Amino acid sequence: MSHHLKGRVQIVGSGAIGSLIAAGAQRNNIPYSLAPRRPEQLTQRLTSYSGQRLLLADNLSQAEALGPTDLLVMPLKVHQLEDAARQWQDRLDQATPVLLVHNGMGGLESVRRHLPYQPVYQATTSHGVYKPTLQEARHSGFGRTIFGEAPDNVNLNDTQLQIVFETISRCLQPVTWHPDITEALWLKLVVNAVINPLTSLHDVPNGALAEHRFQPTIKHICQEMAALMQSEGMMFEPQLLADQVRHVIDATAQNYSSMHQDIKHRRRTEIDAINGFIVEQAQKKGIDVSVNAILYEKIKKMEAAYS
Protein backbone atom coordinates (compact mmCIF):
# COMPACT_ATOMS: atom_id res chain seq x y z
CA MET A 1 0.00 0.00 0.00
CA SER A 2 1.27 3.44 -0.81
CA HIS A 3 1.21 6.07 1.91
CA HIS A 4 1.17 9.72 0.95
CA LEU A 5 2.04 12.80 2.89
CA LYS A 6 -1.22 14.72 3.30
CA GLY A 7 0.38 17.99 4.32
CA ARG A 8 3.55 19.77 3.32
CA VAL A 9 7.28 19.37 3.61
CA GLN A 10 8.56 22.35 5.58
CA ILE A 11 12.31 22.69 5.06
CA VAL A 12 14.30 24.74 7.56
CA GLY A 13 17.01 26.86 5.95
CA SER A 14 17.90 26.99 2.29
CA GLY A 15 21.16 25.10 2.19
CA ALA A 16 22.38 22.73 -0.48
CA ILE A 17 20.68 19.55 0.77
CA GLY A 18 17.49 21.43 1.66
CA SER A 19 17.38 22.78 -1.89
CA LEU A 20 17.78 19.27 -3.32
CA ILE A 21 14.89 18.08 -1.13
CA ALA A 22 12.77 21.03 -2.33
CA ALA A 23 13.51 20.18 -5.96
CA GLY A 24 12.56 16.53 -5.36
CA ALA A 25 9.32 17.63 -3.71
CA GLN A 26 8.47 19.94 -6.59
CA ARG A 27 9.10 17.23 -9.19
CA ASN A 28 6.77 14.93 -7.29
CA ASN A 29 4.07 17.54 -6.70
CA ILE A 30 4.55 17.44 -2.95
CA PRO A 31 3.76 20.85 -1.40
CA TYR A 32 6.94 22.25 0.14
CA SER A 33 8.36 25.37 1.65
CA LEU A 34 12.02 26.29 1.75
CA ALA A 35 12.55 28.85 4.50
CA PRO A 36 15.95 30.53 4.71
CA ARG A 37 17.01 32.56 7.71
CA ARG A 38 17.48 35.56 5.46
CA PRO A 39 15.42 36.10 2.26
CA GLU A 40 18.52 36.67 0.12
CA GLN A 41 19.68 33.11 0.91
CA LEU A 42 16.66 31.50 -0.74
CA THR A 43 17.62 29.03 -3.45
CA GLN A 44 15.65 29.82 -6.59
CA ARG A 45 17.15 27.47 -9.16
CA LEU A 46 18.63 24.00 -9.05
CA THR A 47 20.66 22.35 -11.78
CA SER A 48 19.86 18.65 -11.64
CA TYR A 49 22.45 15.90 -11.93
CA SER A 50 21.49 15.44 -15.59
CA GLY A 51 21.99 19.16 -16.22
CA GLN A 52 18.35 20.30 -16.29
CA ARG A 53 17.60 23.63 -14.75
CA LEU A 54 14.66 23.68 -12.42
CA LEU A 55 13.05 26.83 -11.14
CA LEU A 56 11.85 26.32 -7.56
CA ALA A 57 8.65 28.10 -8.44
CA ASP A 58 6.24 26.17 -6.19
CA ASN A 59 7.90 27.27 -2.96
CA LEU A 60 5.22 28.10 -0.36
CA SER A 61 5.81 30.70 2.30
CA GLN A 62 6.89 29.36 5.67
CA ALA A 63 4.14 27.63 7.69
CA GLU A 64 2.95 29.30 10.90
CA ALA A 65 2.45 25.89 12.49
CA LEU A 66 2.73 22.26 11.42
CA GLY A 67 0.24 19.49 12.07
CA PRO A 68 0.62 15.70 12.26
CA THR A 69 0.28 15.29 8.49
CA ASP A 70 3.16 17.69 7.69
CA LEU A 71 6.88 16.96 7.81
CA LEU A 72 9.50 19.29 9.26
CA VAL A 73 12.88 18.70 7.61
CA MET A 74 15.97 20.13 9.28
CA PRO A 75 18.88 19.75 6.85
CA LEU A 76 21.11 21.84 9.11
CA LYS A 77 24.53 21.49 10.60
CA VAL A 78 24.64 20.03 14.11
CA HIS A 79 25.58 23.38 15.66
CA GLN A 80 22.51 25.02 14.08
CA LEU A 81 20.00 22.44 15.26
CA GLU A 82 19.38 23.51 18.83
CA ASP A 83 18.31 27.03 17.82
CA ALA A 84 16.11 25.68 15.05
CA ALA A 85 14.43 23.20 17.42
CA ARG A 86 13.82 26.04 19.89
CA GLN A 87 12.23 28.16 17.18
CA TRP A 88 9.89 25.41 16.07
CA GLN A 89 8.98 23.79 19.39
CA ASP A 90 5.77 25.78 19.98
CA ARG A 91 4.64 25.48 16.39
CA LEU A 92 4.56 21.69 16.15
CA ASP A 93 1.82 19.25 16.97
CA GLN A 94 3.05 16.50 19.30
CA ALA A 95 2.81 14.07 16.37
CA THR A 96 4.52 16.20 13.68
CA PRO A 97 7.43 14.17 12.34
CA VAL A 98 10.84 15.84 12.25
CA LEU A 99 13.61 14.68 9.93
CA LEU A 100 17.28 15.45 10.59
CA VAL A 101 19.85 15.26 7.79
CA HIS A 102 23.39 16.15 8.72
CA ASN A 103 26.98 14.99 8.83
CA GLY A 104 28.58 14.13 12.14
CA MET A 105 26.99 13.28 15.46
CA GLY A 106 25.20 15.03 18.30
CA GLY A 107 22.27 16.41 16.29
CA LEU A 108 19.62 14.26 17.89
CA GLU A 109 20.80 15.24 21.38
CA SER A 110 20.63 18.96 20.46
CA VAL A 111 17.10 18.64 19.08
CA ARG A 112 15.94 16.62 22.10
CA ARG A 113 16.73 19.55 24.41
CA HIS A 114 13.64 21.29 22.99
CA LEU A 115 11.67 18.46 21.43
CA PRO A 116 12.04 15.61 23.93
CA TYR A 117 9.04 13.57 22.77
CA GLN A 118 8.75 14.54 19.10
CA PRO A 119 8.81 11.68 16.55
CA VAL A 120 12.25 12.14 14.99
CA TYR A 121 13.66 10.44 11.90
CA GLN A 122 17.25 10.63 10.72
CA ALA A 123 18.87 10.39 7.33
CA THR A 124 22.36 10.49 5.97
CA THR A 125 23.01 11.21 2.35
CA SER A 126 25.99 10.98 0.04
CA HIS A 127 24.47 13.20 -2.65
CA GLY A 128 26.81 16.00 -3.58
CA VAL A 129 25.09 19.38 -3.83
CA TYR A 130 26.57 22.83 -3.57
CA LYS A 131 25.47 26.42 -3.93
CA PRO A 132 27.74 28.33 -6.32
CA THR A 133 25.71 31.44 -5.46
CA LEU A 134 23.13 32.13 -2.76
CA GLN A 135 20.22 31.68 -5.16
CA GLU A 136 21.50 28.67 -7.04
CA ALA A 137 22.14 24.98 -6.20
CA ARG A 138 23.90 22.29 -8.24
CA HIS A 139 23.42 18.58 -7.82
CA SER A 140 26.94 17.50 -8.69
CA GLY A 141 27.24 14.01 -7.24
CA PHE A 142 24.60 11.32 -7.41
CA GLY A 143 24.64 9.50 -4.10
CA ARG A 144 22.19 7.64 -1.95
CA THR A 145 20.37 8.20 1.28
CA ILE A 146 19.95 5.97 4.31
CA PHE A 147 16.95 6.63 6.49
CA GLY A 148 15.71 5.39 9.84
CA GLU A 149 13.87 6.19 13.01
CA ALA A 150 15.62 7.87 15.95
CA PRO A 151 16.41 5.22 18.57
CA ASP A 152 14.76 7.20 21.37
CA ASN A 153 11.33 7.80 19.82
CA VAL A 154 8.70 7.08 22.44
CA ASN A 155 5.65 6.18 20.37
CA LEU A 156 6.47 4.00 17.41
CA ASN A 157 4.07 4.66 14.58
CA ASP A 158 4.55 2.40 11.57
CA THR A 159 2.14 4.33 9.36
CA GLN A 160 4.02 7.55 9.99
CA LEU A 161 7.33 5.79 9.39
CA GLN A 162 6.02 4.62 6.01
CA ILE A 163 4.77 8.08 5.07
CA VAL A 164 8.02 9.81 6.00
CA PHE A 165 10.02 7.11 4.23
CA GLU A 166 7.99 7.39 1.03
CA THR A 167 8.13 11.17 1.09
CA ILE A 168 11.86 11.32 1.54
CA SER A 169 12.29 8.52 -1.03
CA ARG A 170 10.69 10.77 -3.59
CA CYS A 171 12.68 13.83 -2.58
CA LEU A 172 16.16 12.31 -2.13
CA GLN A 173 16.14 9.08 -4.10
CA PRO A 174 17.38 6.40 -3.84
CA VAL A 175 16.61 5.90 -0.16
CA THR A 176 17.19 2.74 1.88
CA TRP A 177 15.59 2.18 5.24
CA HIS A 178 17.99 1.08 7.95
CA PRO A 179 16.75 -0.61 11.13
CA ASP A 180 19.69 0.86 13.07
CA ILE A 181 20.23 4.38 11.78
CA THR A 182 22.81 5.08 14.49
CA GLU A 183 25.10 2.46 12.97
CA ALA A 184 24.64 4.00 9.51
CA LEU A 185 25.48 7.42 10.99
CA TRP A 186 28.67 6.03 12.52
CA LEU A 187 29.72 4.54 9.19
CA LYS A 188 29.13 7.88 7.50
CA LEU A 189 31.07 9.51 10.36
CA VAL A 190 34.12 7.45 9.37
CA VAL A 191 33.82 8.67 5.77
CA ASN A 192 33.50 12.28 6.88
CA ALA A 193 36.30 11.99 9.46
CA VAL A 194 38.67 11.10 6.62
CA ILE A 195 37.46 13.01 3.58
CA ASN A 196 36.31 16.31 5.06
CA PRO A 197 39.40 17.42 7.00
CA LEU A 198 41.96 15.95 4.59
CA THR A 199 40.45 17.58 1.49
CA SER A 200 40.24 20.88 3.39
CA LEU A 201 43.81 20.82 4.70
CA HIS A 202 45.30 19.81 1.36
CA ASP A 203 42.91 21.90 -0.74
CA VAL A 204 42.02 19.01 -3.05
CA PRO A 205 38.87 17.38 -4.48
CA ASN A 206 37.75 14.09 -2.87
CA GLY A 207 39.35 11.96 -5.61
CA ALA A 208 42.87 13.15 -4.73
CA LEU A 209 42.65 11.13 -1.52
CA ALA A 210 43.17 7.98 -3.62
CA GLU A 211 46.81 9.06 -4.02
CA HIS A 212 49.44 6.93 -2.37
CA ARG A 213 50.63 9.68 -0.02
CA PHE A 214 47.30 9.75 1.86
CA GLN A 215 46.99 6.02 2.49
CA PRO A 216 48.91 5.75 5.81
CA THR A 217 46.80 8.54 7.36
CA ILE A 218 43.55 7.03 6.08
CA LYS A 219 44.53 3.63 7.41
CA HIS A 220 45.35 5.12 10.79
CA ILE A 221 42.02 6.99 11.05
CA CYS A 222 40.15 3.79 10.18
CA GLN A 223 42.01 1.92 12.92
CA GLU A 224 41.08 4.60 15.43
CA MET A 225 37.45 4.49 14.29
CA ALA A 226 37.26 0.69 14.47
CA ALA A 227 38.51 0.82 18.09
CA LEU A 228 36.05 3.55 19.04
CA MET A 229 33.14 1.83 17.32
CA GLN A 230 34.01 -1.41 19.04
CA SER A 231 33.69 0.37 22.39
CA GLU A 232 30.18 1.38 21.27
CA GLY A 233 29.31 -2.23 20.44
CA MET A 234 29.85 -2.02 16.67
CA MET A 235 32.34 -4.50 15.26
CA PHE A 236 33.94 -3.43 11.99
CA GLU A 237 37.35 -4.43 10.70
CA PRO A 238 39.52 -1.34 9.98
CA GLN A 239 39.96 -2.65 6.44
CA LEU A 240 36.22 -2.73 5.87
CA LEU A 241 35.96 0.89 7.03
CA ALA A 242 38.87 1.82 4.74
CA ASP A 243 37.16 0.07 1.80
CA GLN A 244 34.03 2.06 2.43
CA VAL A 245 35.95 5.32 2.60
CA ARG A 246 37.71 4.41 -0.64
CA HIS A 247 34.39 3.68 -2.30
CA VAL A 248 33.13 7.20 -1.46
CA ILE A 249 36.44 8.78 -2.54
CA ASP A 250 36.05 7.11 -5.95
CA ALA A 251 32.31 7.75 -6.25
CA THR A 252 32.70 11.47 -5.45
CA ALA A 253 36.14 11.96 -7.02
CA GLN A 254 35.35 15.23 -8.80
CA ASN A 255 33.55 16.80 -5.84
CA TYR A 256 34.85 19.13 -3.21
CA SER A 257 33.75 18.05 0.27
CA SER A 258 31.32 20.18 2.23
CA MET A 259 34.09 21.15 4.67
CA HIS A 260 36.31 22.26 1.81
CA GLN A 261 33.47 24.47 0.59
CA ASP A 262 32.75 25.81 4.07
CA ILE A 263 36.36 26.86 4.48
CA LYS A 264 36.48 28.37 1.00
CA HIS A 265 33.41 30.48 1.85
CA ARG A 266 34.69 31.20 5.36
CA ARG A 267 31.73 29.51 7.02
CA ARG A 268 31.77 27.55 10.26
CA THR A 269 32.52 23.91 9.43
CA GLU A 270 31.13 20.69 10.90
CA ILE A 271 34.46 19.76 12.47
CA ASP A 272 33.08 19.77 16.05
CA ALA A 273 30.40 17.23 15.13
CA ILE A 274 32.85 15.07 13.15
CA ASN A 275 36.45 14.76 14.41
CA GLY A 276 35.61 16.84 17.51
CA PHE A 277 32.88 14.37 18.47
CA ILE A 278 35.27 11.47 17.89
CA VAL A 279 37.95 12.99 20.12
CA GLU A 280 35.42 13.69 22.87
CA GLN A 281 33.97 10.17 22.85
CA ALA A 282 37.43 8.60 22.72
CA GLN A 283 38.55 10.65 25.72
CA LYS A 284 35.63 9.31 27.76
CA LYS A 285 36.62 5.77 26.86
CA GLY A 286 40.41 6.18 27.08
CA ILE A 287 40.90 5.31 23.41
CA ASP A 288 43.79 6.80 21.45
CA VAL A 289 42.56 8.79 18.44
CA SER A 290 45.61 10.99 17.95
CA VAL A 291 45.27 11.32 14.17
CA ASN A 292 41.67 12.49 14.55
CA ALA A 293 42.85 14.90 17.25
CA ILE A 294 45.53 16.39 14.99
CA LEU A 295 43.05 16.87 12.14
CA TYR A 296 40.60 18.48 14.56
CA GLU A 297 43.20 20.96 15.83
CA LYS A 298 44.35 21.86 12.33
CA ILE A 299 40.83 22.57 11.05
CA LYS A 300 40.04 24.59 14.17
CA LYS A 301 43.10 26.73 13.40
CA MET A 302 41.94 27.26 9.81
CA GLU A 303 38.50 28.30 11.04
CA ALA A 304 39.95 30.61 13.69
CA ALA A 305 41.96 32.40 11.01
CA TYR A 306 38.81 33.80 9.44
CA SER A 307 36.16 33.77 12.19
Which residues have a catalytic role annotated?
188
Which residue among 103, 110, 160, 200 contacts ligand KPL (CB under 6 A)? 103
Site string for ligand KPL, 211-250 (x = CB under 6 A): -------------------------------------x--
Q: Does 275 bind ligand KPL (CB under 6 A)?
A: no
One-letter amino acid of 99: L
Q: Does 126 bind ligand KPL (CB under 6 A)?
A: yes
Residue closer to ligand KPL by CB (options 122, 257) is 257
8 Å CB contact between 41 and 132:
no
Number of residues that bind ligand KPL (CB under 6 A): 13
One-letter amino acid of 292: N
8 Å CB contact between 66 and 7:
yes
Which residue among 26, 167, 255, 292 contacts ligand KPL (CB under 6 A)? 255
Residue closer to ligand KPL by CB (options 33, 292) is 292
In angstroms, give the least distance from the CB of 86 to ligand KPL. Answer: 25
In angstroms, give the least distance from the CB of 6 to ligand KPL. Answer: 32
Residue closer to ligand KPL by CB (options 10, 192) is 192
Which residue among 128, 148, 197, 238 contacts ligand KPL (CB under 6 A)? 128
Binding site for ligand KPL (CB under 6 A): 103, 126, 128, 191-192, 195-196, 206, 248, 252, 255, 257-258
